[in-house]
Amino acid sequence: MHGEYKVPGGKLVVVDLDVEGGELRRTRVAGDFFLEPDEALEAINGALDGAPADTDAAGLAARVDAALPEGTVMYGLTSEGIGVAVRRALAHATDWTDYDWQLVHEGPQPPALHMALDEVLTQEVAAGRRPPTLRVWEWGAPSVIIGSFQSLANEVDAEGAARHGIEVVRRISGGGAMFVEPGNTITYSLSVPDALVQGLSFQDSYAYLDDWVLGALADMGIKAWYQPLNDIATDAGKIAGAAQKRMVAPGGGPGAVLHHVTMSYDIDADKMLDVLRIGKEKLSDKGTKSAKKRVDPLRRQTGLPREAVIDRMIDSFRSRYSLAQGKVTEAELARARDLVRTKFATAEWTARVP
């Protein structure tokens, strides 16, 4: 069995192993990491050999930590990353390079249609009718997007939204409310087979699916990192928030994961505060005193036009995994429009948590 895992902000860990009698055997760890002293590698392999095959990643990491020689130093490698690589091998997880990726980047769409497209395209990936897809959104109108389980009244000031002509929609994924305006926001979705995140915890899958964008930001001079559970942050503040939804395939087979991210290119903080109800507890949780200071837009940090930031992100993804130009099919668009009518544009859905 073979498993790979790129440690967030670190290096690639590769594990090859067998399972006999319910235990790991002939375990071999490799990768482009740095490790001192040399004998630490054999200590890691020895610690994993004999481990029950159902040991979780944390348990495997504990075995590794207990076996490391005194003074061991790991660069780009963590015991937790080794544990995850083992679990991915056991789960027969796939890798980014195992797929032919498709890019969908089309013209501006209404907010409710974006919600529907996320659901439809991810369902198509789950059914095996669409390849793994990176979809870059263009917004047709300003909007507030609330998480699947958020209270509409608690999150949105209805009078403020009406005053500014802002549409409120509810997405199918969890997480917090996002304030978006055309030209000020960069949003993308990944619709991927469930096999890509096999062996990863829910939390680890967030960092794993956005490691590519951290590299793209680094190429633009931005040192960014994942701040659990679902924020992308810099020294100057948060620049993005992520959310996920797991979907099962028809008939109960392997499913797919929807992972989408909204990034602030620029922001009208006064308007945001007039529309969103941002409580003091949420702000104190982030260690800040002002909602205006929680978000630090990409426009200031990069000095690049929004379109250039998007182009560089796409180029970064393509250089890593290849990326063919695609589009939403007529059948997919028809299904999405029907979902807008029956679900995403209805008061029943938007206010399902009043």
In this prediction, residue 286 has a pLDDT band, given cuts at 50, 70 and 90, of very low
Q: What is the pLDDT of residue 251?
A: 79
pLDDT for residue 252 is more than 50: yes
Higher-confidence residue: 289 or 178?
A: 178
Vertex 47 angle, CA 45 and 53, to 5°: 95
284: burial class by Cβ within 10 Å (0-12, 13-18, 19+)? exposed
Task: Report the alpha-carbon distance of residue 204 to residue 85 in Å, rounded.
Answer: 12
In this prediction, residue 296 has a pLDDT band, given cuts at 50, 70 and 90, of confident
pLDDT for residue 226 is more than 70: yes
CA end-to-end distance (rounded Å), the chain: 49
Q: What is the pLDDT of residue 253?
A: 75
The label of the residue with tokens 């308007």 reads 271
Q: What is the pLDDT of residue 291?
A: 52
Q: What is the pLDDT of residue 91?
A: 94
Tell me which H or E stretch contains 91. none
- Collect contacts of 66-69 with beta carbons under 8 A, ≥24 apart: 67/43, 68/40, 68/43, 68/44, 69/37, 69/39, 69/40, 69/43
Q: pLDDT tens digit string along 70-92?
A: 999 999 999 999 999 999 999 99
The upper half-sphere exposure of residue 64, i.e. CA atoms within 13 Å in the direction of its Cβ, equals 28
Q: Are 139 and 108 in contact (CB under 8 A)?
A: yes
Strand partners, 31: 13
In this prediction, residue 281 has a pLDDT band, given cuts at 50, 70 and 90, of very low
Vertex 214 angle, CA 143 and 322, to 5°: 95
Q: Are 119 and 172 in contact (CB under 8 A)?
A: yes
Instruction: Concatenate the DSSP letters of all residues of 195-237 into one string.
Output: GGGTT--HHHHHHHHTHHHHHHHHHTT---EEETTTEEEETTE
Q: Are 224 and 217 in contact (CB under 8 A)?
A: yes
Q: What is the pLDDT of residue 289?
A: 44
Task: Report the alpha-carbon distance of residue 140 to residue 151 in Å, rounded.
Answer: 25
Higher-confidence residue: 290 or 146?
A: 146
Task: Report the alpha-carbon distance of residue 64 to residue 43 in Å, rounded.
Answer: 8
Q: What is the pLDDT of residue 280?
A: 41
Strand partners, 260: 189, 243
Structure tokens at 207: 């960092």
Q: Which of 132-146, 266-280, 295-309 has the highest mean pLDDT?
A: 132-146
pLDDT for residue 39 is more than 70: yes
Structure tokens at 285: 């949780």
The conformation of residue 107, written as its DSSP 8-state character, comes to S
Q: What is the pLDDT of residue 292?
A: 53
Mean pLDDT over each residue of the chain, to the nearest integer: 93
pLDDT for residue 146 is more than 90: yes
Note if the pTM is more than 0.85: yes
Preceding peptide of 60 cis, ω within 30° = no
Instruction: Give the contacts of 51 (CB within 8 A, at least 6 positions apart).
Output: 23, 24, 59, 60, 63
Task: Report the alpha-carbon distance of residue 268 to residue 274 in Å, rounded.
Answer: 10
The label of the residue with tokens 């796409």 reads 314
Average of pLDDT values for 105-114? 98
